Chains A and B, each alone.
Chain A
Amino acid sequence: MKDLMKIDHLSTYFVNGTDQVKAVDDVSLRVREGETVCIVGESGCGKSVTAMSIMGLVEEPGGKIVNGEIHFEGRDLLQLSKNELRTLRGNEISMIFQEPMSSLNPVLKIGQQIMEPLIVHQKLSKKDARNRAIELIEQVGISRAAQIADSYPHELSGGMLQRIMIAIAISSSPKLLIADEPTTALDVTIQAQILDMLRKFKEQSNMSIMLITHDLGVVAEMADYVIVMYAGKIVEEGEVVKLFQNPKHPYTQGLLKSKPVINQRQDELYSIPGQVPNPLELTESCYFHDRCEHCMDICRTKRPELKEVAEQQKTACWLYEEALVNA
Chain B
Amino acid sequence: MSLSSTPLSGTIGTKQAQAKSSSLFRQSMRRLMRNKLAVSGLVVVVIMVLACFIGPFFSPYTDNKVHMAMMNKAPSLKHWLGTDALGRDVLTRVLQAGRISLTVGLASMVLSVFIGALLGAIAGYYRGFVDQIIMRIADLLLTIPGLPLLFIFGALLSEWKVPTEYRMYIVMFMLGFVNWPGLARMVRGQMLSLREREFMQAAVVLGLRDRRKLFNHLLPNIVPLLIVIATLNIGGSILSESVLSFFGLGVMPPTPTWGNMIDAANNLIDFQERPWLWIPPGFSIFATVIAINIFGDGLRDVLDPKQKR
Contact = CB atoms under 8 A, between A and B. Distances in A.
Contacts of A197: 3
Contacts of B208: 86, 90, 116-117, 120
Interface residues of A, number: 48
A107 B219 CA distance: 10
Contact of B221 (A85, A91, A105, A200): A105
Given A147-B14, A147-B21, A152-B24, A116 B8 contact: no
Contacts of B201: 57, 97, 103
B215 to A, nearest CB: 12
A64 B223 CA distance: 34
Given A57-B205, A94-B205, A143-B8, A155 B3 contact: no
Main secondary structure of the interface of B (DSSP, over half): helix
A104 B220 CA distance: 13
A116 B216 contact: yes
A141 interface: yes
Q: Which of B24, B197, B207 has its CB near the most chain A CB atoms (within 10 A)?
A: B207
B6 A155 contact: no
How extensive is the interface on chain B, given as a class? 35 or more
Given A155-B17, A155-B20, A155-B21, A86 B207 contact: yes
Contacts of B197: 102
Given A87-B207, A89-B207, A148 B3 contact: no
Interface in B202-223: 202-209, 212, 216-217, 220-221, 223
A142 B11 CA distance: 9
Contact of B202 (A86, A97, A120, A151): A97
Given A105-B203, A107-B220, A156 B209 contact: no
Nearest to B223: A107
Given A116-B216, A147-B17, A150-B22, A142 B203 contact: no
Interface in A106-158: 106-108, 116-117, 120-121, 141-144, 147-148, 150-152, 155-157
Interface string B1-40: 1111011111101101110111010000000000000000
A157 B9 contact: yes
A105 to B, nearest CB: 5
Contacts of A116: 203, 206, 208, 212, 216
